[in-house]
Amino acid sequence: MKITTKKQFILASESPRRKELFGKLGIPFEVKASGAAEIVKRNLSVEEIAMHIAIDKTVAILEENPSAIVIAADTIVSLNDELLMKPKDNEEAKTFLQKLSGNTHQVTTGVAIYGEGTSISFAETTLVKFFDLSEEHIDAYIATGDSLDKAGAYGIQTMGGLFVERIQGDYNNVIGLPISRLFKVLLSLRLIEIERVVNA
């Protein structure tokens, strides 16, 4: 199976994790950081907040690349309606992990696809259950420096995954991009096509 496109795609993200996931489509794309401020509007649901931030990221890129299809995403960790964004320091990272310990939290990624007459956004949520974490384990993980650039202060694809008892939903969504759902949406919009490859 080969995925083809006649469109110019730009992934509006500085995340190497999203770049790697988007690369699974096997189509040419550029990566550009939007520089858009991640403004949280508290009167919205978590899904709406994630989608609005993703949309803002696409707008900044589209102004300079009007003929491209721009895709952006934003991932938010929430626990009992409390948003656990990227921690500002190790102390806040520890507080986040203590709250997540032994509990089930939500990881929501908002995705926006804009450009060339397309303007669509959606959100995907995965439930993640943590084991009970000791203070020693939390401190040891924080000392690796892995917490500070990740929503909820952990990465499921790194050593933070050792804290996960189970998940319900899309694993890639927790990393930062629900690539399977994105694939289906891009197909439905006819922005990509599947080409059957026959071995000689």
Residue keyed to tokens 């770049």: 19
What's the farthest any 2 CA atoms get from each other in the chain?
59
Among 74, 132, 139, 146, the active-site one is: 74
Give yes or no: 74 in active site.
Answer: yes
Q: Which of 78, 1, 70, 83 is nearest to 32 (CA)?
A: 70
96 close to 152: Cβ distance less than 8 angstroms: yes
Burial label for 158, CB within 10 Å (0-12, 13-18, 19+), is: middle
**Token digits of residue 31:** 């990566």
Active site residues: 74
